[in-house]
Structure 1
Amino acid sequence: MERLLRGHPLRTVSVDGASAEFVTDAALVRRILVKDGKHYTKGELFQKARILSRAGLLAQDDALHRHYRRLAHPYLRTTAVAGHAPVMEEIARDTAALWRPGQPVDVQAEMCRAASGIALNTLFGALPRETSNVLGAHLAALSWEMIRKPLYGKAARSPRPSQRLAGAFTGFRTLLASCVAGRLGSPAASGDHLSALLADTGPDGTAALSADQICDEAVMMLTAATVTTASVMSWALYLLAEDPLVEEKVLKDLAQTTAAHPGTATGAGVRPGHGQGPPGYALRFLMEVLRLYPPVWITCRKTLSDVTLGEHALPAGTHVMFSSYLLHRDPDRYPHPHRLDPDRWLSLRPTALDASYIPFGAGARGCVGEAFAWKELEILLGAVAREWQLTLPPGTRVRAAAHTTLHPQRLHMLPQPR
C-alpha cells in the first residue's frame, strides 16, 4: 500500500472490480470527514458489519445515525466512563488471573474475552454472573470471527458469511434476544444503553425500534467495542515484549500512576489532547500503538452529490477511500514512521486541524466510544503488564493481517509472573 500509493494525493484504484478514488493527503481526508462531511455517506466497498445491523448507528441516513449517536453518548462520555472503571478493572484482573506461568496464552482470544465482558457489563448494566459468562463467551467467539472477516475478495463479496461467522453470530444473537425480551416489560429499569434503546420512541409515541432492531443494534455495539479493543491490546502486549526499554518505562509510569491514585488500577484516563501538559508514558505508548496499528485501518465513503476534492471534481456516487494506517505512517508528519517511539507524543499533539492521526475517525461519524476506549485500554494494559511478563516462543514471527481490523495473524505468548 505504501509503495503503490505514497506520493499520490488522490489516485484511482479498483476494489473487487469497483472503481474508487484513494486519498492519501491528510488535509483532503479531513475535508471528507469534517468540512464537507454532509456531502458524503458510508461507502459500500467494505461492509465491515454487514451481518450485524443496518439500524441505529449503522444507518445510512445521517439524521437517524445522529439520533442513535446521541442516545449512546450518555453512557460513553468521559464522566460516564469514570463510573465504568471499577467494572473494567475487575474484569481485566479476572482475565489475567486465569493465566498460568509458562503456559501459552492465545493473546487475541484472551483480549476478546476481557473486552467482551467489559462491553456487556458496562453497556448492559449489571448482569448475573452466569448470564454474563455465557453471553461473554459467545460474544468473544463472534468478535474473533469478525476480526478475521475478509474485507475484499471472493469471501467478502459472498452474500453469506462464513459458516463459523454465521454460527457465532446466530449463537450470540439468540442468547442476546432472550435478554432483550426479558427487558421489554421494564425498559427504564436501569440506566444503561440497552434501557435507552428500549425506551426510545418515535413521533407517534410508539417504540422507535422493533425488538429485532434493538437486538441488532446491541450486537453491533458490543461487537464493535470488543473487536477494536482486542486488536489494539494484542499489538500493545506484543510491542511491550519486543522492546524491553519501552516495557520498563511503561511499568514505571503505571507504578507512579497507581501511587498517585491509590485504590485504582489506573489514573484519570484522560483522552490525548484533553488534559493539561503531555500525557504520561503509558498513554503515549498506547497512542503509538494506535498510530502503528489502527484497528479500523481502511475506510470508504461515497459522494452524495458532485464535489470538488482538492483539484479533482468527483461526481455523485463516487467511492472515496483512505487509510488511517497510511496516514499514520506519513514520514513528513512522523519521522522514522515505522519505529515505535512513544516520546514523539511529547512534542506532537493530536489535532482536529488535520487527519494525520485518526485511530477513532473524525467528524460526525467518528467513534462515539473514544473516551470509553482510552480508559479501557489503559486499564487492560495496567492489569496485564503489572502482573505478567509476556514473551514470544522462540522462533515466532508475528505478521499483521488486514481483515476487518488490523490484527496479528497469530499471537501466542508465554506469561511469567512479575
Structure 2
Amino acid sequence: MTLETVRIGRIQRLKALFTFQQVLDRFEMISDRSSGLVKVEGGRASYYVVWEPELLERILVTHQHLYVKSAQYRLLAVVVGEGLLTSEGELWTSQRRVIQPMFAKRHLGRFAEHMTDAIGDFVRVWSTLDDGDQVDAATAMNTLTLDVVGRALFGAELSGKAARLGPVLTSGLRAGVRAARLQLLFDPPPWLVEKAPGLVRRAPSWTPGLRWIHDVLRTTDEVVEEIIAGHPEGSDDLLGLLLAARDPETGEAMPRRQVRDELMTFLLAGHETTANGLAWLWYLLATHPEVRDRVCDEVEDVLRGRVPTAGDADKLVWTAAAFQEALRLYPPAWSIVRTTAEADTLNGHEIPAGTSIVIPVYLAHRNPRLWPDPDRFDPRRFLPGRSQPPRFAYLPFGGGRRICVGAGFAVMEATLIIAMLVQRFRLELREGAEVVPEATVTLRPRNGIPMTLHKVV
C-alpha cells in the first residue's frame, strides 16, 4: 500500500501551534487522502498520523511495548510531575499496581455519596441565582468536578480552592501544549526534553520566561500540601492509600514528592476531562432539545425527585449514553502521542525507532466508515444492546494497558451530575454565543460556554 506523505511549510507549521481549527483542518485534509496512515514532514521533524482501529490496536495493545509515551508527556510533567499520566517503566507499573484496585467497579459505589454531597452543595449555590441569570457552563463544571474529585478521592473540599487552582492549571496546560507542539515540529534533542521538568524546577524563579511557571508550581504545591496536611490519618480514600503505601521490598513509604505528583495527576485528569465533557454535553443538550427532554424524562422516571445513588447510575442509561456521545464528538483527550521505542511496521511501512506517532482521537471518533452520520449528536449509539463499532474506534479514555484508571469513576460522576442538575435547572445557550474548541492538553471551549439558567418549577 502506498504511503501518503504530507509536507508542511514553515508558515503552516507555525500556524499549527496556535489554534485547534488549524490543527484539525490539517488532520482532516490528511484523513481525506489516505487509508489511516500518513507521514507528515516539516522542517527537521517528521511524524506519522494514525487513526484506523486495526493500527491503533497494534500500537496500544498487541505491540504496545514498542510504543512508549512521547516526549510531550515529559513537558507536561513540568506541571503535574511523575504521576500515572506521565511516568514510564517500573515507576508507572508500581504506581498503577497500587492505585488500580481502588477504581474497580465493585468499589465505585463508595464514591457516590461523596459525589452527591458535592453536587448537592453546588445545586444549592445555583439555587440562589435568579431565573434567567447568566452562567458559564465550562467554568461551573470545572468548579463542581474539582470539588467532587476532592471529596471522593482525597476527603477534601476543593470548591474554595478552585479559584486559586483553576487559572494556574489552565495557563500551565496551555503552555504545555505549545511546548509539546514545538517539540513535535522542531525535534529538540531527546536529552533536553527528558530533563525539562527538573531543569525548570531548579531554575531560579527570575529566569526570563519562567516566572509564570514557577507561579503555577508554587500555587499547585501549596494546594496539594494543604490537602495532605488536613487529611485524616487512616482514611480509606485514594490519598489515604497513597500515604499508607509501602514498598514491598524495602518497606519504605511512598516519597512525599511522589504522593504530590499522583495527587496533581488526579486533580488534573480527575476533574479537567470530566468537566470538559460535561461542558460540551450542556452545549449539545441546549442545541438538541429533543435529546435533553429524553434525559429529563428518564431522570424523573428513575429518581422521582430524590438524590441518586450508585445503583441509580446504572439505570440512567440514556443519560449515560448522552454523556458518552458528547465524549465521542468532543473527546477531552483529543489526541494521543506515542514514540517508537524500536522500529515497527505499519501497513507494510517500516517506522523507525524514535518516531512520533500521533493518534487524532477527534478524527477517529468521526470516521464516517465506522460512525454513520458522524457529526450528528445521537446518544442511541451507546444504548445497551446496540451494535458497537470496532474496539479502537472509540477512545475517550485512551486504550490498552494505559487506559485511564478512573474511566468508570468519570462516567458515574458525570451521570450523577447530569441527573441532579436537570432535576432543578435547564440551561439554554445564550443568544449569539460563539462556542469554539481549543486544544490544550484537553479539548475545552476557548471562551467558555455562555448559557442562561432557568429553574425547573
Out of 353-362 and 192-201, give the one that drifted further. Answer: 192-201
How far the C-alpha of 1:137 sits from its partner, in A, is 4.0
Name 2:28's counterpart in structure 1.
2
Residue of structure 2 equivalent to 1:87? 114
Q: Deviations over 1:14-65 (max 9, x none)?
A: 5785321111211101110011111111012465732234424145433321
* Structure 2 match to 1:119: 149
SS of 1:269's equivalent? helix
Using structure 2 for the length normalisation, give the TM-score.
0.80
Aligned partners of 1:51, 1:391: CA distance in 2, in Å?
38
8 Å contact kept, 1:265–1:382: no
Does structure 2 conserve the Cα–Cα contact (< 8 Å) formed by 1:15 and 1:45? no
Work out whether 1:177 is the aligned partner of 2:225. Answer: yes
Distance 1:168 1:382, change over 3 A: farther
Shift in CA distance, 381/149, structure 1 to aligned 2, threshold 3 Å: farther
Contact 1:43–1:300, Cα closer than 8 Å, also in 2 = yes
- Contact 2:340–2:356 (8 Å) recurs in 1: yes
Within a 5 Å distance, the mapping from 1:24-173 to structure 2 comes to 24-45=51-72, 49-58=76-85, 60-99=87-126, 100=129, 101-125=131-155, 127=156, 132-146=158-172, 148-149=174-175, 151-152=177-178, 166-173=214-221
Q: What are structure 2's unaligned runs of at least 5 residues?
A: 1-26, 184-192, 201-208
Change (3 A) 1:350 1:70: farther
Alignment partner of 1:414 is 2:452: yes
Deviates more, 1:106-115 or 1:204-213: 204-213
Higher helix proportion (structure 1 or 2):
2
Q: Please state how far the C-alpha of 1:168 moved relative to its aligned partner.
A: 4.2
Contact persistence 2:308–2:420 (CA under 8 A): no
**C-alpha deviation, 1:354, in angstroms:** 3.0
Select 2:308's aligned residue among 264, 270, 284. 264
**8 A contact 2:144–2:159 mirrored in 1:** no
Q: Residue in 1 aligned with 2:40?
A: 13
CA distance in 1 between partners of 2:442 and 2:256 (Å): 29
1:211 counterpart = 2:256:
yes
> CA offset at residue 414 of structure 1?
1.0
Q: What is the CA–CA distance in structure 2 between the aligned matches of 1:202 and 1:190, rounded to whole Å?
A: 19
Q: Greater CA deviation, 165-174 or 261-270?
A: 261-270
1:306 and 2:343 are equivalent in the alignment:
yes
Deviations 1:52-110 (A, max 9, x none): 34424145433321221121123322222211111111212222332212221121111
- 1:175 to 1:284, Cα distance in 2 relative to 1, 3 A: closer
The whole-number CA distance in structure 2 between the counterparts of 1:165 and 1:385 is 39
In structure 2, distance between residues paired with 1:297 and 1:367: 14
What is the match of residue 317 of structure 2?
280
Partner residue in 2 for 1:241: 286
Measured in 1, the distance between the counterparts of 2:245 and 2:43 equals 39
Q: Which runs of 5+ in 1 are unaligned?
A: none
- Quick check: 2:333–2:443 contact (8 Å CA) kept in 1? yes
Question: Residue 190 of structure 1: SS of its match in structure 2?
Answer: coil
Q: List per-residue Cα deviations over 1:333-370 (Å, max 9, x = no partner).
A: 1111001111233464557x531011111111110001
Distance between the aligned counterparts of 1:412 and 1:67, measured in 2? 43
1:112 and 1:227 in contact (8 A); partners too:
yes
Q: Is 1:258–1:265's contact at 8 Å kept on the other side of the alignment?
A: no
Alpha-carbon distance between aligned partners in 1 of 2:149 and 2:210, rounded to the nearest angstrom: 25
Instruction: Provide the residue aligned with 1:23 in structure 2.
Output: 50
Give the partner amino acid of 1:177: E
Corresponding position of 1:398: 435
Q: Cα gap change, 1:385/1:182 in structure 2, threshold over 3 Å: closer, same or farther? A: closer
2:328 pairs with 1:291: yes
Aligned counterparts of 1:97 and 1:212: Cα–Cα separation in 2: 36
The one-letter amino acid of 1:6's match is D
Deviation at residue 155 of structure 1 after TM alignment: 8.7
Shift of 1:218: 0.9
Amino acid at match of 2:375: H
Deviation at 1:249, TM superposition (A): 0.7
Scaled by the length of structure 1, the TM-score of the pair is 0.87
Q: How many residue pairs are counted as aligned between the two chains?
A: 402
